[in-house]
A = this chain, B = another copy of it.
C-alpha cells in the first residue's frame, strides 16, 4: 500500500475512534508509519487528509446500504436486511459520529459528505417504502419520507444508546422496536400484489 493510501486509511480509523478534534497529524503519521514531511508532501494538512478519508468512508457506507436496499425481496424485507445487517455497534457510525464534531461542522467541505450521505440514505429508503405502498405490501396511510427518516434515525440513535449503555443490546432492541412498528403497517395478507391494486 502506498504511503498516501496508508495515511488515508489511518485517518479513517482515527476519525472513527476519536473524531476530528481528537485526531492529531502526529497520531496519523505514527499509525501510518509515515514521517512529518511525508504527510505534508501528499496532503495540504489535517483537513485535506480528513476530506479524503471522510469521502471514502461515506462512499463505503452508501455501497453497503445499496447492497441490501437494492437486493431481492419485498420492501419490508430489504429494509429489515439493512437495519439488521452486521455492524460494529459499539464503535458507532463512522459517518454519523462526525456530526458531533464542531470543527467538521464548521468546515463546509467536510460537512458536505455527511449531508449527502444521509440525504441519499433517507431518499433511498423512502423510495423502497413508496414501492411497498405502491405494490400494496404496505398500508396506503404510511408516509414514506417521514418513515424513512425515522428509520435512519433509529440506527443513528441506536449507536448512541448502545455506547451509553456499554453494550450492543439497546441498538438491537431499537431496531426490533422499529421493525415491529413497521410490520404492523403491512397491508392485510393475500391482498393486492404488484400491479393488482383495487380499481
Interface residues of A (CB under 8 A from B): 17-19, 21-22, 92-93, 96-97, 99-103, 105, 111, 114-115, 117-119, 122, 139, 141-143, 145-161, 163-166, 170, 173-178, 180-182, 184-185
* Across-interface contacts of A102 in B (CB, < 8 A): 17-19, 22
Do A180 and B122 touch across chains, with their CB atoms under 8 A apart? no
Instruction: Check A99/B156 contact, CB under 8 A, given A177-B143, A177-B146, A181-B182.
Output: no
* Across-interface contacts of A145 in B (CB, < 8 A): 173, 177
* Across-interface contacts of A122 in B (CB, < 8 A): 161, 170
Bound Cα distance from A19 to B20, whole angstroms = 11
Do B174 and A185 touch across chains, with their CB atoms under 8 A apart? no
> How many whole Å from A92's CB to the nearest CB in chain B?
6
Instruction: Check A161/B170 contact, CB under 8 A, given A21-B18, A181-B182.
Output: no
* Across-interface contacts of A117 in B (CB, < 8 A): 164
Do A160 and B156 touch across chains, with their CB atoms under 8 A apart? yes
Closest to A116 in B: B164
* Shortest 7 CB-CB contacts between residues of A and residues of B: A153-B157, A150-B177, A156-B157, A146-B177, A157-B157, A181-B181, A153-B174
Do A174 and B146 touch across chains, with their CB atoms under 8 A apart? yes
Bound Cα distance from A157 to B174, whole angstroms = 11
* Across-interface contacts of A99 in B (CB, < 8 A): 92, 159-160, 163-164
Do B156 and A177 touch across chains, with their CB atoms under 8 A apart? no
* Across-interface contacts of A97 in B (CB, < 8 A): 100
> How many whole Å from A139's CB to the nearest CB in chain B?
7
Do A118 and B21 touch across chains, with their CB atoms under 8 A apart? no
* Across-interface contacts of A177 in B (CB, < 8 A): 143, 145-151
